[in-house]
Amino acid sequence: MNNLNAFSQHFADILFRAFPEWRKYARYDDTEGVAAGTIHIIVPHPEDTEKRLDIWTVNDEVTVGWYGWHTHFNNWSGISDEDAYQQAMSMIRDLIDDEFILAVCFDHDGTVGRAWEYSVGDDFAEAYTYQKKHADKQVCLRSWRGSHDRCLKA
């Protein structure tokens, strides 16, 4: 990955030290319209292709995406690049360790309409409230390993 910018290279170094087996999933992102020097890592889920983990850098931010949801880690939010790297790594570890739970609202056509982030032990109150108000939609909990997967009842 010789073409990465300094931000992307530093994050890639941190990520691949923690997960060396993911190096094979990385690619230099030369998509038209994407800033030069970015990296995109697509980590396949061992059992479910819809649950792939997307990690990418662009414009000095790390983005972690999974199951139609994503979040950004960057210095625009008032944190240093190092803090952005560490927060992204913490999110990635929590996700693959099944400590991160995503409540996903599926629209009528099956696409993800909105999502809420939770940790193990949370009560999912906001997701339950939304499900009760929108009985025509389906809110389901999703976790990387599936140990927390279930759909909420209205």
Hey, how many other C-beta atoms are within 10 angstroms of the C-beta on 59?
A: 14
Question: What is the pLDDT at residue 154?
Answer: 67
19 and 52 share a domain?
A: yes
80 and 116 share a domain?
A: no
- Across 5-14, 17-26, 114-123, least confident range: 114-123
82 and 116 share a domain?
A: no
Residue 1 lies in a domain: no
- Across 47-51, 61-65, 83-87, 108-112, least confident range: 108-112
DSSP the chain: -TT--HHHHHHHHHHHHH-GGGGGGEEEE--TTSPTTEEEEEE--SS-GGG-EEEEEETTEEEEEETTEEEEEEGGGT--HHHHHHHHHHHHHHHHTT-EEEEEEE-TTS-EEEEEEEETT---HHHHHHHHH-TTSEEEEE-TTSTT-EE---
Residue 81 lies in a domain: yes
Model confidence at 1, in pLDDT bands (50, 70, 90)?
low
Question: What is the pLDDT at residue 76?
Answer: 80
Instruction: Report, as an integer, the average pLDDT of 147-151.
Output: 93
CA–CA gap between residue 119 and residue 60 (Å, rounded): 27
65 and 140 share a domain?
A: no
Domain around 141:
100-151
pTM score, whole prediction: 0.89
CA–CA gap between residue 153 and residue 32 (Å, rounded): 43
Question: What is the pLDDT at residue 31?
Answer: 76
> Total structural domains in the chain?
2
Q: Which position has the higher pLDDT, 124 or 50?
A: 124
